[in-house]
Homo-oligomer: A and B are copies of this chain.
Amino acid sequence: MPLFLNNEDVEQVLTMKTCMEALEVLYGELGAGKAVAAARTDIHSPTAAGSGAEAPMAHYLKSMSGAAPHFGTAALRFSSDIVAWRQAGDGMRREKIPTLPGERWLGIVLLFNTANGELLAIMNDGVIQRMRVGGTNGVATKYLARGDAESVGLIGSGWQAGTQVMAVCEARKIKKIKVYSPTRANRESFAHDMSPAVGVEITPVDSQEEAVRGVDIIITSTNSRKPFLGPEALCEGVHLSCMQRDEADDDALHRCSPLLVHTHLTENNSTSSQLNEMATPGFEFRDHPMQRGIDWKALPTLADLVAGRAKGRERAEQITGFVNKIGLGAQFAAVGAKVFEGARAKGLGREVPLDWFTQDVHP
Does A247 belong to the interface (CB within 8 Å)? no
Q: How far is the CB of A333 from chain B (nearest CB, A)?
A: 9
Interface positions, chain A 87-106, Cβ under 8 Å from B, are 96, 98-106
Stretch at the interface among A37-45, A136-144, A187-195, A212-220: A37-45
Partner of A103, one of B36, B122, B360: B360
12 further contact pairs, Cβ within 8 A, besides A104-B355, A104-B359: A34-B46, A35-B272, A36-B43, A36-B270, A38-B268, A43-B329, A48-B72, A59-B114, A80-B117, A80-B118, A96-B362, A100-B116
CB-CB under 8 A from A124, the residues of chain B are 357-359, 361
Q: How would residues 264 to 300 of chain A score, 1 for a CB under 8 Å from any chain B CB and 0 otherwise?
A: 0000101111101000000000000000000000000
- Interface presence of A85 (CB below 8 A): no
Interface flags, A35-65, vs B, CB<8A=1, else 0: 1111101111111110000000001010101
Given known pairs A35-B272, A65-B41, the reply for A7 and B359 (CB within 8 Å) is yes
B46-A126 in contact (CB<8A):
no
Interface string of A10-46 (1 = CB under 8 A from B): 0000000000000000000000111111110111111
Q: Known contacts A63-B63, A117-B80; decide if A358 and B273 are in contact (CB<8 Å).
A: no
Chain B residues, Cβ within 8 Å of A49 = 115-116
Q: How far is the CB of A230 from chain B (nearest CB, A)?
A: 29
* Cβ-defined contact, A96 with B43, below 8 A: no
- Whether A106 and B80, one on each chain, are in contact in the complex, defined by CB atoms closer than 8 angstroms, is no
Interface residues on A, range: 35 or more
Q: CB-CB < 8 A to A319: which residues of B? A: none
> Does the CB pair A126–B67 fall under 8 Å?
no
User: What is the interface of chain A, defined by CB distance below 8 A to chain B?
Assistant: 4, 6-7, 32-39, 41-49, 59, 61, 63, 65-67, 69, 72, 74, 76, 78-82, 96, 98-108, 110, 112, 114-119, 122, 124-127, 129, 159, 268, 270-274, 276, 329, 350, 352, 354-363
Question: How far, in angstroms, from A72 to B51 measured CA to CA in the complex?
Answer: 13
Q: Are A126 and B359 in contact (CB-based, < 8 A)?
A: yes
A100 touches B358 (CB 8 A): yes
Tell me which residues across on chain B come within 8 A of A352, comparing CB atoms.
352
B67 and A272 within 8 A (CB): yes
A363 touches B270 (CB 8 A): no
Q: Are B41 and A36 in contact (CB under 8 A)?
A: no
Q: Which residues of B contact A357 (CB under 8 A)?
A: 106, 108, 122, 124
Complex A-B: 18 CB contacts under 8 Å: A4-B356, A33-B273, A35-B45, A43-B65, A45-B74, A46-B69, A59-B115, A65-B78, A79-B363, A80-B119, A98-B360, A102-B355, A102-B358, A104-B358, A106-B117, A106-B118, A126-B362, A159-B362
Report B-chain residues with C-beta under 8 Å of the C-beta of A42: 38
Decide if B39 touches A44 in the complex (CB within 8 Å): no
The chain B residue with its CB closest to the CB of A111 is: B80
Smallest CB gap from A350: residue in B: B356
Q: Is the CB of B67 within 8 A of A61?
A: yes
Q: Which residues of B contact A118 (CB under 8 A)?
A: 80, 100, 106
Shortest beta-carbon distance, A116 to chain B, in Å? 4
